[in-house]
Chain A
């Protein structure tokens, strides 16, 4: 390799070598030219391609925005409520890809009520398929505890899979940075955007839970699970972040499950004694209205939860849920 006999070194050898040397030198020069950076790196801010979530809501129909069904059986109350709002067909069109965002925050069993009820999640998924003719239903959450454990222990992973829904784990590559128009906190912040790719409709499912910092965790707080990064920093201004999340996400509808309400030790719970049976299921196209009603189940008023008024002011919905003329129905126990 590259061996040369000194005795036979001729002019043409010299010229060949000189040519190669010149080519290499020119290559080095060209590389330096192409890579030349006269300014050096800019200060911290990286210009990122920002993403925004589209509006997933459907056409409003007066008097059919909110339904409150009471009864002990989640499947029945949900079925009834969605029927009274015009049926799932009103929301899910044939061929739609539906994303369900249940609360899968904690690695706790379903009986503790810290996560969305697996049967309810499965029922929503099944209805999307059977009567909504959805093409695909996916379920996602950026859990607080270990995601795989959360989906497994909460029973949501199994129930959803059996209903034919796909689970999307919050992998790092699914997060994209977003800035909420007019937002104060959600600025260049990572959200679980990848899960929304090709999604046509979005449904939120959350239990009613006590929350020491914000007062209550319901359907609006449930969108916290779309945030990535060290999102806990937002607890400094919990009301603003919940209101901004409610502005950022325009769901098709939300399901607020007050069948069992976590009255104490929220939002983790940990004991069945933290739960109270309230037998109430709310389905609403307006998550501010749903949560405003839901505050009553925790024996609070909407004014106890400053984020409700903030969300209303930002145009995310109304705290005066009565103005939506909610359909109220009772199911036999």
Chain B
């Protein structure tokens, strides 16, 4: 176990806060860029380009960013660098919404996010070791979802009553407590065992990418997001058509309520994964996808989809906890934890990107109900693949 006894007692609480503030920061970024650029008279084509640039950079930097975190002796340092990059990106957007600064901000933020997610997981792993990681990741997910939910409410209000620019200033400001929490986690000899020795560890990489568990889980992750990612946007589209002026309230509930479910469930998910094993918990999370697709297809009226979305909180909690936990299981005894996170992150990005395109296309051609059924069927396929192919990765 990599715990070296030099970490101060306040570290767990500091890690809670780090998860909370980083989630705040990430909430501010995505959805407000489009609105903000619209107010600064960007055309739809230019906005589309800026957003696509962010998505593409996030996709191609998953694996390199993972390798970078693996190679760093001090994961806290890497995470601080990423947070500072987020501050720069947010300020660039707020101060100078013209082509070059915005494109730079999109690239910086996308790369920084690819570093932050594995770095925080690596710091957690270092803090508690493999045996207690499930419990710890449960707590991470709880605080992240509380951060997400609160930030969605606060930043939504800021965007409405102040300005979209204020949202980016707030985002930059929230990086400061995130940095302080990061420093408060403590010095600790950071994870010597989690650090790659040379710049390129080819044999280790070959071993990692020929690991059947990684390949199986990557496929499950891809299918999970292929099923999951388009559901919320399609719910949004349906609700606006059914509800008129109260639509935004219902959509807000569809976003915030699942976060509350995640906050409640995550610690339980982490504990169960440790006690009864990874497979049953994974199956539970994956199996809610087809159920949600079916419910969204048949539930009438503008209000009931909120309930179906709350069910999505369960799968989100399972995914949020199990994603880094499985990466840790798969890379146990090696120094490729972050690279593995990156590879799984790439699978996630691919699934999510395809999902919104696919979902939107089916909804256009055959109607939104058919789209929900199709997404649910993909979820069913994901569950079957998980059930048949994915082995148990917990070790006694």
Partners in one complex: no
B residues sitting closer than 8 Å to A (CB atoms) are none
